[in-house]
Amino acid sequence: MIRMSRCLLLATLLWGVCVATVAVAEKPNVLFIVCDDLNTHVSTSGYPHISTPAFDELAAAGMTFRRAYCQYPVCGPSRASFLHGLYPQSTTILSNTTDIRNLRPGTVSMPQRFKEAGYWTGAVGKIFHNTKVDPGEIAWHEMLRFENDELPMVTPIREKFEAENGPITEGKSRRLWREFYPSIAKQTKGQKPGWGPTGLEDRQHKDGKNARQIAEWLTEGASGDKPFFMACGIQKPHIPFLAPDKYFAMYPPAELKFTPASLEFWQHAPAIARTKRYEGFGFEFGVENDSLRREYMQAYHACISFIDAQIGLVFDALRQSGHWNDTIVVLTSDHGYLLGEKFMWGKVMLFETCDRVPLVIRVPGQTKAGSVSEGLVELVDLFPTLTELCGVTPPAELQGRSLVPMLRDLSASGKDVAYTVVMRGAKMGKAIRTNQWHYTLWPDGSEELYDLVADPHEDANLVDASKHLKTLEEMRNLLRQADSNAIARKR
């Protein structure tokens, strides 16, 4: 008991936080929550137009990183990067269809390393991009994926279809149903995209099932005597933008706040910075369709409030199970998402809204409650951070930098640059951020330079401004250094 008291006293003196209520566990548990396509439309990122009380709850107890960036604004490459602690050039995963086990055999993932270190590892939902690239038993003791229940509007239509064609799970009828299903309603369009209220309850959605499964593991002690590493993959707000009706009611379309896009931006920005995903959403480039944009934004925001409620259930279970004070919690997203800004929709771009992500971390006994960091951090930093916090030996090849100094000391600085890449055909566009600047170099030689302090929405490309020539050359040099660091662990 005397030895424990001295440890607590030393921790208090070194870290400047109150740890009188609980000792930091030698092997703390980890709850890793990763959302899908969630941009910074959450209160912890300074967005005032949406309700996210679970994010607020975690932020009030931990540290919010206001300038966290993904390494590739697409699901598969981003997840391969942060789950293996390597930049995309080192993972060689640059699309949603490639498997790191084929391109870089033997690379150890975050959950695999924790399992090897004696942790019980369990996952629900989308952690790795899909089941084809998920490492399975080598990483998880248990891994579950759920689907939404059938939408009430679909049930009578399906029953009529089956009466005429036979079961939708068999043969020709299965193919015909798959072709017919997207035509039923806007909610059934899938990734075309679909959107709208579902008529389902929270628990009938896959994210409701994900959260309730994690809660069950916590309250029933699925990990036994082992510390646990639980990963909760939250599928929304990824398209289709579907959520229970009550969350749509929270955001009347007429009350949504946004700035209409302007074509003036594209007089200064390179065309290669764009994508044509707006076409899939039903928009014409350069034409502001206000009513349709409001419908999509309402649906996106409804999805965010829905998943926030599910995350809140998980936090309740952490407390009920007695694990709130011995569990590190990480809450983040794989990348951001544009919702009509610059006439662009979706991801696969190097703008702030596409690359910056929410990130909140709580480490019992170490993070100061309600603390905020404006330092630059990257998702690739999460693997080395969690291994250091848990006393787990990390793979030697990790390229990220542990955030532990920042978690313990509010005066600790972030990185000099944050680095994000994306493919354009067979070649790569590359972006870096410093505390003030965002610089992008595209494979056709075109460039972008934005002053993020004076112009946080990146409206003015300053690459041709003569007064910024020195800054431009400095950013070019920093990008070359970041490139070198990104390929340092390539096999």
Write down the pLDDT at residue 6.
32
Cβ pair 200, 302 in contact under 8 A: no
Number of neighbours of residue 439 by Cβ within 10 angstroms: 24
Rounded to 5 degrees, φ, ψ at 10 are: -65, -40
Rounded distance between C-alpha atoms, residue 89 and residue 93, angstroms: 7
Q: What is the arithmetic mean of pLDDT over 52-80?
A: 98
Asked if the 24-148+200-415 domain carries CATH number 3.40.1710.10, the reply is: no
Whether 357 contacts 68, CB under 8 Å: yes
pLDDT digits (tens, 9 = 90+) for 362-405: 999 999 999 999 999 999 999 999 999 999 999 999 999 999 99
Can you read off the two tokens belonging to residue 483? 């490139």
Pairing of strands 228-237, 29-36: parallel
Q: Domain residue spans in the chain? A: 24-148+200-415, 150-196
352 — pLDDT class (breaks 50, 70, 90): very high
**Per-residue b or e along 48-84, where b marks 16 or more CB atoms closer than 10 Å to that residue's CB:** eebbbebbbbbbebbbbbbbbbbbbbbbbbbbbbbbb
Give the side-chain half-sphere CA count within 13 A for 116: 13
Q: Which of 99, 165, 83 is nearest to 131 (CA)?
A: 99
More confident: 228 or 19: 228
- Reading the block at residue 212, the tokens are 């309730």
Helix (H, G, I), strand (E, B), or coil: what is residue 31?
Answer: strand
Report pLDDT for 26: 77
Question: What mean pLDDT is predicted for residues 83-88?
Answer: 98
pLDDT in tens, 191-210: 999 999 999 999 999 999 99
What phi-psi label fits residue 166: left (phi over 0), alpha (psi between -120 and 50 degrees) or beta? left
Cβ proximity of 406 and 377 under 8 Å: yes
Strand 195-197 to strand 241-243: parallel, antiparallel, or no bridges (unpaired)?
Answer: parallel
Q: What is the pLDDT of residue 3?
A: 29
Residue 382 DSSP one-character state? H
Confidence at 489, pLDDT banded by 50, 70, 90: low
Give the residue from 416, 428, 438, 403 showing the smallest Cα distance to 487: 428
pLDDT of residue 51: 86
Distance between CA 146 and CA 204 in Å, rounded? 10
Tens-place pLDDT, residues 426-443: 999 999 999 999 999 999
